[in-house]
Amino acid sequence: MDFELSPEQVALRDQVAAFAKDEVAPLAETLDRECRFPTELYRKVGGMGITAIPFAEEFGGMGLGTFEMTLAIEQLARADQSLAVTTMVSVAAGLIVERFGTPAQKAEYLPAIVRGESYSASESSALESIRFMLKAKPTFSDVRLARLARGLADASSPARTAADLRVVSTVAV
């Protein structure tokens, strides 16, 4: 088995590493000290296509895999853990929608997640966590979240019980 990175993977890693070194690292300490999340950097992460890495091309993604996503997250994390974790969680929640969501949910939620124009999270505390992080009201209603949760648990989805259903929340960046 070959464990070497492909030339494409090396290029991806190096591109994200350069971005992290040049644009993220110089701000990371100040952002931590001021307890601020780098929304503008998250938008750049999306603009570079990092948030699109693991999503299917039909949803605007690059159609790559989770390993390539891991390469990118690793480079972001070298510069700023908050940006890396938020990117990772948002993409992971989007992958839940991609895999288990209805066609209507995919059409509504995935474009902004894939482009890095919204944060997304899963679990019951996601809504409050995002509100706290942004110190802003979300752009969706709890009723909309309830519809999403019900839709994810419909007959066409493997998620059938509260125990295996994770609500996905999104907030526009």
Q: Could you read off the pLDDT of 161-171 as tens digits, one per residue?
A: 333 334 455 66
Give the pLDDT confidence score for residue 146 in this predicted structure: 43
Element spanning 169, H or E: strand 168-172
Per-residue pLDDT at 158 exceeds 90: no
3-state secondary structure of 15: helix
Cα distance between residue 45 and residue 91, in whole Å: 12
User: What are the tokens at 149?
Assistant: 């949760």
> Which domains does the chain carry?
7-172 (1.10.540.10)
Among 23-27, 88-92, 106-110, 129-133, which is the least confidently predicted range? Answer: 129-133
Per-residue pLDDT at 103 exceeds 80: yes
Confidence of residue 59 (pLDDT cuts 50, 70, 90): very high
Give the pLDDT confidence score for residue 36 in this predicted structure: 85
Confidence of residue 2 (pLDDT cuts 50, 70, 90): confident
Give the pLDDT confidence score for residue 120 in this predicted structure: 81
Higher pLDDT pick, 42 / 133 = 42
Confidence of residue 1 (pLDDT cuts 50, 70, 90): confident
Average pLDDT over residues 116-138: 61
Segment 71-97, tens digit of pLDDT? 999 999 999 999 999 999 899 989 999
> Would you give the DSSP letter of residue 22?
I
Cα distance between residue 110 and residue 72, in whole Å: 20
Considering the entire predicted model, what is its pTM? 0.73
Element spanning 118, H or E: strand 118-122
Cα angle, residue 114 at apex, residues 103 and 11 outer, rounded to 5°: 135
Give the pLDDT confidence score for residue 48 in this predicted structure: 96
